[in-house]
Amino acid sequence: MLATPDPASALAGSPETGNSYTFTAKLAIGDEFRSCTGTLINAQWVLTASSCFADDPAAGYTIAAGKPKWKTTATVGRTDLATTTGQVREVVELVPRTDRDLVLAKLATPVRGITPLRVGSTSPAVNDQLKGAGYGRTKDTWVPGRLHAGDFTVNQVDTNRLQIDGTPVCKGDTGAPVFREKNGVLELAAVATASWQGGCLGTSETRTGAVATRVDDLGTWVRQSTASTLTPWRLQMVTVAGKDLYHSVRDSNWDWTAFGAVEQAAGGIGDVEQAAEAGISGTNTVLALGADGVVYETKRNPNGAWVPFRPLTSELGSLAGLKKISVTSMGSTLGLVGIGGGRVYHSVRDASGKWIKWGDVSAAAGNLTNPTDITITKVGDATHVGVVANSNKAYHVVRDSLGNWGSWGEITKITGAPTSVSAVAFSGTGADDLQAVLVEPNGGLRHVARLSNGNWTAFGDLAGPVLGTGPVTAVSAATVDNEFHTAIIRNGTIKHTVRHVDGTWEPADTPPGAPADPTSLGITASRN
């Protein structure tokens, strides 16, 4: 057992460089009156130890909720404190726990461009191997200028805490993240709160044991406590895996809900081949293409309740060989496109919820040979449709506000475009701009925008720099609060990223708990 470990602690392991563990935050409390470490767990909240904000940390960790007593700033993503990398935010609100040395610290504005470390949901076990990162004193440096990391072994698991040993935990930074890798993804397991400080500069103590406060049982508290930062807009996702349909929501704090089985809530429809979705106000419409070639519709209401699936054949009409669909919100109506029998079709759901019969786009815009993928979005008052056809060429057409179709234009003829495309996804941003992601057969990803004047921008590489490499089997796009979101399935894993208004891209994230081996996905924006 640890007798009276010091409450101010950080990690004295190896210095980190580059982008390692950039979710770690350095907290300056009261203009360097006290320094601590924290963890960015979503876009606008840091998790750390409440004793960082106590008048006398040695006397206990109980603190008041609300604005910090001392001005506090959080520097996130700066592994080398001598640089200006990362982002600095003031802490404006504290939400402490009463049963353990832990507090949520709200940042004045969201942090962009840094992937948070999500809170895990299962307890570590004795002998588990963990890692930690912090900014505190080391074995040979009193005030280090770099983030340090180290390794730990779990010696004991208690109700609210872990007893760990390994890399010395030193004076300087309470609140350091203690994390582990699970299914290839890092997750937060605990927060360092006390240690013997053996092996640290300025102490003769030899014991290196430390205490870390558990967080794996606090997922509900974290979600409820941070919900006040949510904007009205959020992202919803459906994915098909094992011929079953699943759904998740990503809120404005970047937190994903658990994937739920849609057919358990909305009724079974047999094997699902593909799904698409679109939001109107707080209601999310999901269309599932069954193995029987029928399009089924369900709705997820703002309270999370699902409406039973219903087949749309009587409204849309039969479409032989239907193999791909895409849907978009048109304000109070929906626009739907599909590929069937080697042709492109279109339908609209009116404000009353009634679908019109399939209309033949190929007859109006021109026939394309062997279309294989399709996407639709609203841009201004018009509808934009993208299709992959004619041996992996990408095409684009506009349907104006009066319902008139233009003619197909070949995107792959634009200067700098990929010569071959296997899939495409569209979404509108701003007043009249179209954003597009093109998937190359080798797994490459290219982004391009069509501006309101009809000109196309230069193509950008979205694969290696943001979404990695390897085969891509599905792509979808949506605009949430005027930011462009892209989701793909690469190597059997869902990857997601965001393009901000200034043109910068977020590091890719993987929704936790996604079903194994997904084959199709669709994303959309919706309002709470």
DSSP 28-95: EETTTTEEEEEEEEETTEEEE-GGGGSSSGGG-----SBS-SS-EEEEES-SBTTS--SEEEEEEEEE
Question: What's the confidence (pLDDT) of residue 168?
Answer: 65
In this model, does residue 154 exceed pLDDT 60?
Answer: yes
Q: How many of the other CB atoms lie within 10 Å of CB of 305?
A: 10
What are the helix (H) ranges across 242-368? Answer: 262-266, 313-316, 361-365
In this prediction, what percent of the chain has a pLDDT beyond 70? 90
Residues in the chain: 528
Integer Cα distance of 445 and 173 in angstroms:
42
pLDDT on residue 223: 87
Q: Which residues of 415-439 are buried (b: 16+ CB within 10 A; e: fewer)?
A: eebbebbbbbbbbbbbeebbbbbbb
Q: How far is CA 365 from CA 38, 362, 409, 410, in A?
A: 56, 5, 10, 12
Cβ atoms 179, 37 nearer than 8 A: no
Strand, helix or coil at 365? helix
Look at residue 6 and tell me whether its pLDDT is greater than 60: no
Confidence of residue 285 (pLDDT cuts 50, 70, 90): very high
Q: Which of 132-146, 347-361, 479-493 has the lowest mean pLDDT?
A: 132-146
By CB atoms closer than 10 A (0-12, 13-18, 19+), residue 160 is middle
**Average pLDDT for 13-23:** 67
Mean pLDDT of 510-528: 90
pLDDT of the residue at 9? 38
* Neighbouring C-alpha atoms within 13 Å toward the C-beta of 23: 26
Contact 428, 477 (CB under 8 A): no
Full-prediction pTM beyond 0.85? no
Q: What element of type H or E holds 347? A: strand 343-349
Mean pLDDT, range 6-33, rounded to an integer: 68
CA-closest candidate to residue 73, choices 99, 109, 101: 109
d(CA 469, CA 496): 14
249 closest CA partner among 523, 497, 41: 523
Question: If you average pLDDT over residues 349-372, what whole number do you get?
Answer: 96
Contact predicate 371/342, CB 8 Å? yes
Place of tokens 């974290």: 222
At residue 58, φ and ψ (nearest 5 deg) are -70, -20
Write out the H or E segment, with its range, that includes residue 220: helix 219-226
Tell me the average pLDDT across 421-446. 95
Q: Burial level of 370, CB count in 10 A (0-12/13-18/19+)? A: exposed
Tokens of 406: 């233009």
Residue 182 tokens, joined: 């699970």
Q: What is the reported pLDDT for 528?
A: 59
Q: Which amino acid is at 237?
A: M
* Sign for the pseudo-dihedral over CA of 265, 267, 270, 276: negative
Most confident of 10-24, 245-259, 484-498: 484-498
CB 328 within 8 A of CB 286: no
**Whole-number Å distance between alpha carbons of 372 and 344:** 10
Q: What is the pLDDT of residue 150?
A: 86
Residue-averaged pLDDT of the chain: 89
Q: In the structure, what pLDDT confidence band is assigned to residue 4 with cuts at 50, 70 and 90?
A: very low
Give the model's pLDDT for residue 492.
94
Q: Which of 64-73, 134-143, 349-358 is predicted least confidently?
A: 134-143
Proportion of the chain above pLDDT 90, given as a percent = 70
How far is the CA of 152 from the CAs of 24, 181, 303, 463, in angstroms? 17, 13, 43, 35
Position 484 scores a pLDDT of 96
* Section 298-326 average pLDDT: 95
Query: pLDDT confidence of 3, banded at 50, 70, 90?
Result: very low
Among 57, 126, 120, 115, which Cα is nearest to 86's?
A: 115
pLDDT of residue 202: 62
pLDDT at 425 (0 to 100)? 98
The model's confidence at residue 68, banded by pLDDT at 50, 70 and 90, is very high
Phi, psi of 316 (to 5 degrees): -80, -30
Residues 8, 146 contacting (CB under 8 angstroms) = no
| CA nearest to 184, candidates 443, 439, 516 | 516
464 pLDDT band, cuts 50/70/90, is confident
Higher pLDDT, 275 or 231: 275
